[in-house]
Amino acid sequence: MHSSLRSLAPLQNRAAALLDALREVTGPGGTVVVPTFTPENSRTSSAYLAAVRGLGPTGRTEYHRRMKPFDPATTPSATGLFTEYLRTSENAVRSAHPQTSFAAVGPLADFLTADHALNCHLGEESPLSRLYDAGALVLLIGVGYGRCTAFHLAEYRYHENPPSQEYQAVVLDRGERRWRRFRDIRLDDSDFELLGKEMEQEVPVAHDTFFGSELRMFALRDAVDFAKRWLRDVRIHHETSQDAVH
Protein backbone atom coordinates (compact mmCIF):
# COMPACT_ATOMS: atom_id res chain seq x y z
CA MET A 1 0.00 0.00 0.00
CA HIS A 2 1.05 3.56 -0.78
CA SER A 3 -0.82 6.58 0.55
CA SER A 4 -0.75 10.30 1.19
CA LEU A 5 -2.45 11.19 4.46
CA ARG A 6 -2.49 14.84 3.42
CA SER A 7 -4.76 13.93 0.51
CA LEU A 8 -7.51 12.72 2.84
CA ALA A 9 -10.35 15.02 3.86
CA PRO A 10 -10.14 16.39 7.44
CA LEU A 11 -10.18 13.32 9.64
CA GLN A 12 -9.12 12.94 13.25
CA ASN A 13 -6.13 10.63 13.74
CA ARG A 14 -5.86 9.92 10.01
CA ALA A 15 -3.16 7.25 10.25
CA ALA A 16 -4.99 5.29 12.93
CA ALA A 17 -8.31 5.60 11.09
CA LEU A 18 -6.75 4.41 7.84
CA LEU A 19 -5.09 1.39 9.42
CA ASP A 20 -8.30 0.50 11.27
CA ALA A 21 -10.23 0.68 8.01
CA LEU A 22 -7.70 -1.52 6.24
CA ARG A 23 -7.69 -4.12 9.01
CA GLU A 24 -11.48 -4.17 9.00
CA VAL A 25 -11.64 -4.69 5.24
CA THR A 26 -8.93 -7.34 5.10
CA GLY A 27 -10.23 -9.15 8.19
CA PRO A 28 -8.19 -11.25 10.64
CA GLY A 29 -6.60 -13.24 7.79
CA GLY A 30 -5.32 -10.18 5.94
CA THR A 31 -1.85 -8.65 6.10
CA VAL A 32 -1.11 -4.98 5.40
CA VAL A 33 2.34 -4.18 3.98
CA VAL A 34 4.00 -0.79 3.35
CA PRO A 35 7.46 0.32 2.17
CA THR A 36 9.52 1.88 4.98
CA PHE A 37 12.48 3.07 2.92
CA THR A 38 15.42 4.97 4.44
CA PRO A 39 17.54 6.71 1.76
CA GLU A 40 19.32 8.86 4.34
CA ASN A 41 21.46 5.85 5.33
CA SER A 42 23.00 5.63 1.85
CA ARG A 43 25.93 7.21 0.03
CA THR A 44 24.22 6.60 -3.31
CA SER A 45 20.67 7.93 -2.84
CA SER A 46 19.38 11.16 -4.36
CA ALA A 47 18.73 12.44 -0.82
CA TYR A 48 22.39 11.95 0.08
CA LEU A 49 23.67 13.50 -3.15
CA ALA A 50 21.53 16.59 -2.55
CA ALA A 51 22.75 16.87 1.05
CA VAL A 52 26.47 16.77 0.19
CA ARG A 53 26.30 18.86 -2.98
CA GLY A 54 28.81 21.69 -2.67
CA LEU A 55 30.64 20.19 0.33
CA GLY A 56 34.40 19.78 0.19
CA PRO A 57 36.30 16.68 1.39
CA THR A 58 36.26 17.82 5.03
CA GLY A 59 32.57 18.61 4.91
CA ARG A 60 31.73 15.25 3.38
CA THR A 61 33.81 13.40 5.94
CA GLU A 62 31.98 15.18 8.74
CA TYR A 63 28.61 14.49 7.10
CA HIS A 64 29.48 10.78 6.81
CA ARG A 65 30.44 10.73 10.48
CA ARG A 66 27.06 12.15 11.46
CA MET A 67 24.95 9.82 9.29
CA LYS A 68 22.82 7.65 11.54
CA PRO A 69 23.15 3.89 10.97
CA PHE A 70 20.10 1.88 10.03
CA ASP A 71 18.46 -0.10 12.81
CA PRO A 72 15.25 -1.88 11.73
CA ALA A 73 13.83 -1.51 15.23
CA THR A 74 14.27 2.25 15.57
CA THR A 75 15.08 4.00 12.27
CA PRO A 76 12.01 5.96 11.12
CA SER A 77 10.47 5.35 7.71
CA ALA A 78 11.05 8.11 5.16
CA THR A 79 8.16 7.06 2.88
CA GLY A 80 5.26 8.88 4.49
CA LEU A 81 3.47 9.37 7.78
CA PHE A 82 1.27 6.31 7.43
CA THR A 83 4.20 3.96 6.86
CA GLU A 84 5.84 5.17 10.07
CA TYR A 85 2.57 4.76 11.95
CA LEU A 86 2.23 1.19 10.75
CA ARG A 87 5.91 0.43 11.44
CA THR A 88 5.48 1.45 15.09
CA SER A 89 2.06 -0.16 15.57
CA GLU A 90 1.53 -3.19 17.78
CA ASN A 91 2.79 -6.49 16.33
CA ALA A 92 4.34 -4.81 13.29
CA VAL A 93 7.36 -6.56 11.71
CA ARG A 94 10.00 -4.96 9.49
CA SER A 95 12.46 -6.39 6.99
CA ALA A 96 16.14 -5.72 7.58
CA HIS A 97 17.28 -4.02 4.37
CA PRO A 98 19.02 -0.72 5.27
CA GLN A 99 17.56 1.20 2.33
CA THR A 100 14.40 -0.53 1.07
CA SER A 101 12.78 -2.23 4.06
CA PHE A 102 9.09 -3.12 4.33
CA ALA A 103 6.84 -3.23 7.41
CA ALA A 104 3.80 -5.45 7.82
CA VAL A 105 1.03 -6.31 10.27
CA GLY A 106 -1.04 -9.47 10.03
CA PRO A 107 -0.60 -13.24 9.98
CA LEU A 108 1.85 -13.23 7.03
CA ALA A 109 3.98 -10.37 8.37
CA ASP A 110 6.90 -12.53 9.52
CA PHE A 111 6.95 -14.60 6.33
CA LEU A 112 6.77 -11.59 4.00
CA THR A 113 9.53 -9.60 5.70
CA ALA A 114 12.02 -12.38 6.54
CA ASP A 115 15.42 -12.80 4.84
CA HIS A 116 15.45 -9.57 2.85
CA ALA A 117 18.85 -9.89 1.13
CA LEU A 118 21.26 -6.94 1.28
CA ASN A 119 22.08 -7.19 -2.45
CA CYS A 120 18.42 -7.34 -3.44
CA HIS A 121 16.57 -4.08 -2.89
CA LEU A 122 13.27 -5.04 -4.48
CA GLY A 123 13.84 -8.27 -6.38
CA GLU A 124 13.58 -12.02 -5.92
CA GLU A 125 14.96 -12.03 -2.36
CA SER A 126 12.79 -9.16 -1.15
CA PRO A 127 9.25 -8.92 0.26
CA LEU A 128 8.01 -7.89 -3.20
CA SER A 129 8.71 -11.35 -4.60
CA ARG A 130 6.83 -12.97 -1.73
CA LEU A 131 3.92 -10.57 -2.22
CA TYR A 132 3.85 -11.56 -5.89
CA ASP A 133 3.69 -15.26 -4.99
CA ALA A 134 1.06 -14.62 -2.31
CA GLY A 135 -1.32 -12.92 -4.76
CA ALA A 136 -1.23 -9.53 -3.05
CA LEU A 137 -3.24 -6.49 -4.07
CA VAL A 138 -1.72 -3.03 -4.53
CA LEU A 139 -3.60 -0.10 -3.02
CA LEU A 140 -2.81 3.51 -3.98
CA ILE A 141 -4.57 6.23 -1.97
CA GLY A 142 -3.92 9.81 -3.03
CA VAL A 143 -0.71 8.98 -4.90
CA GLY A 144 0.17 8.23 -8.51
CA TYR A 145 1.83 5.30 -10.23
CA GLY A 146 5.20 6.94 -9.74
CA ARG A 147 5.00 5.70 -6.15
CA CYS A 148 4.10 2.11 -7.11
CA THR A 149 6.97 0.09 -5.67
CA ALA A 150 5.63 -3.14 -7.21
CA PHE A 151 6.88 -2.04 -10.64
CA HIS A 152 10.45 -2.31 -9.38
CA LEU A 153 10.14 -6.10 -9.21
CA ALA A 154 9.69 -6.05 -12.99
CA GLU A 155 13.03 -4.24 -13.29
CA TYR A 156 14.67 -7.45 -12.10
CA ARG A 157 12.73 -9.56 -14.61
CA TYR A 158 12.51 -7.67 -17.89
CA HIS A 159 16.14 -8.22 -18.83
CA GLU A 160 18.66 -11.00 -18.19
CA ASN A 161 21.29 -8.42 -17.31
CA PRO A 162 19.62 -5.17 -16.16
CA PRO A 163 21.92 -2.20 -15.50
CA SER A 164 23.52 -2.41 -12.05
CA GLN A 165 25.59 -0.27 -9.70
CA GLU A 166 27.36 -0.36 -6.35
CA TYR A 167 25.47 0.83 -3.26
CA GLN A 168 26.72 1.81 0.18
CA ALA A 169 24.70 2.02 3.38
CA VAL A 170 25.59 2.56 7.03
CA VAL A 171 24.05 0.07 9.46
CA LEU A 172 24.02 -0.81 13.13
CA ASP A 173 25.59 -4.27 13.37
CA ARG A 174 25.61 -5.86 16.82
CA GLY A 175 25.83 -2.45 18.39
CA GLU A 176 28.57 -1.14 16.08
CA ARG A 177 28.31 1.36 13.25
CA ARG A 178 29.47 -0.21 9.95
CA TRP A 179 29.36 0.57 6.23
CA ARG A 180 28.03 -2.11 3.91
CA ARG A 181 28.84 -2.21 0.18
CA PHE A 182 26.78 -4.27 -2.24
CA ARG A 183 25.90 -4.47 -5.91
CA ASP A 184 22.33 -4.52 -7.21
CA ILE A 185 20.35 -3.33 -10.21
CA ARG A 186 20.01 0.40 -10.87
CA LEU A 187 16.48 1.28 -9.78
CA ASP A 188 14.66 3.81 -11.96
CA ASP A 189 11.08 4.97 -11.39
CA SER A 190 11.23 7.87 -13.86
CA ASP A 191 8.82 6.19 -16.32
CA PHE A 192 6.45 4.58 -13.79
CA GLU A 193 3.69 7.19 -14.25
CA LEU A 194 3.54 6.46 -17.97
CA LEU A 195 3.83 2.72 -17.30
CA GLY A 196 0.86 2.86 -14.92
CA LYS A 197 -1.34 4.84 -17.30
CA GLU A 198 -0.69 2.35 -20.08
CA MET A 199 -1.21 -0.55 -17.68
CA GLU A 200 -4.77 0.63 -17.09
CA GLN A 201 -5.56 -0.18 -20.73
CA GLU A 202 -4.91 -3.91 -20.08
CA VAL A 203 -5.00 -4.62 -16.34
CA PRO A 204 -8.21 -4.38 -14.27
CA VAL A 205 -7.88 -1.41 -11.90
CA ALA A 206 -10.62 -0.63 -9.39
CA HIS A 207 -11.25 3.11 -8.90
CA ASP A 208 -12.97 4.64 -5.89
CA THR A 209 -12.62 7.43 -3.35
CA PHE A 210 -11.64 7.27 0.31
CA PHE A 211 -12.40 10.36 2.41
CA GLY A 212 -12.18 12.49 -0.72
CA SER A 213 -8.95 10.93 -1.98
CA GLU A 214 -8.60 8.91 -5.19
CA LEU A 215 -8.18 5.19 -4.57
CA ARG A 216 -6.85 2.64 -7.05
CA MET A 217 -6.50 -1.09 -6.45
CA PHE A 218 -5.14 -3.86 -8.66
CA ALA A 219 -3.42 -7.23 -8.47
CA LEU A 220 0.31 -6.94 -7.85
CA ARG A 221 1.01 -9.97 -10.03
CA ASP A 222 -0.89 -8.45 -12.98
CA ALA A 223 0.99 -5.17 -12.55
CA VAL A 224 4.42 -6.80 -12.41
CA ASP A 225 3.72 -9.05 -15.39
CA PHE A 226 2.52 -6.09 -17.46
CA ALA A 227 5.48 -3.95 -16.33
CA LYS A 228 7.91 -6.70 -17.31
CA ARG A 229 6.56 -6.71 -20.87
CA TRP A 230 6.35 -2.91 -21.02
CA LEU A 231 9.89 -2.36 -19.75
CA ARG A 232 11.22 -4.95 -22.17
CA ASP A 233 9.61 -3.10 -25.08
CA VAL A 234 10.32 0.47 -23.95
CA ARG A 235 13.65 0.35 -22.13
CA ILE A 236 15.41 -2.22 -24.28
CA HIS A 237 14.28 -0.35 -27.39
CA HIS A 238 15.59 2.90 -25.88
CA GLU A 239 18.91 1.30 -24.89
CA THR A 240 19.30 -0.18 -28.38
CA SER A 241 18.56 3.22 -29.96
CA GLN A 242 21.12 4.92 -27.71
CA ASP A 243 23.76 2.34 -28.64
CA ALA A 244 23.04 2.91 -32.33
CA VAL A 245 23.47 6.68 -31.90
CA HIS A 246 26.81 6.28 -30.15
The predicted structure's pLDDT at residue 236: 80
Strand partners, 12: none
Tell how far CA 209 is from the center of its chain.
23
Which segments in the chain show pLDDT lower than 70?
A: 11-12, 237-246
Query: Using an 8 Å Cβ cutoff, are 202 and 125 in contact?
Result: no
Those residues with Cβ within 8 angstroms of residue 171's Cβ, 6 or more apart along the chain or in another chain: 41, 69, 70, 71, 98, 177, 178, 179, 180
Quote the pTM value: 0.91
The predicted structure's pLDDT at residue 211: 82
Please give the span between the terminal C-alpha atoms of the chain, in angstroms, as a whole number.
Answer: 41
The predicted structure's pLDDT at residue 237: 66
CA torsion through residues 223, 225, 226, 229, sign: positive
d(CA 152, CA 148): 8
The predicted structure's pLDDT at residue 246: 42
d(CA 63, CA 235): 36
d(CA 23, CA 27): 6
Query: Using an 8 Å Cβ cutoff, are 34 and 2 in contact?
Result: yes
The predicted structure's pLDDT at residue 244: 41
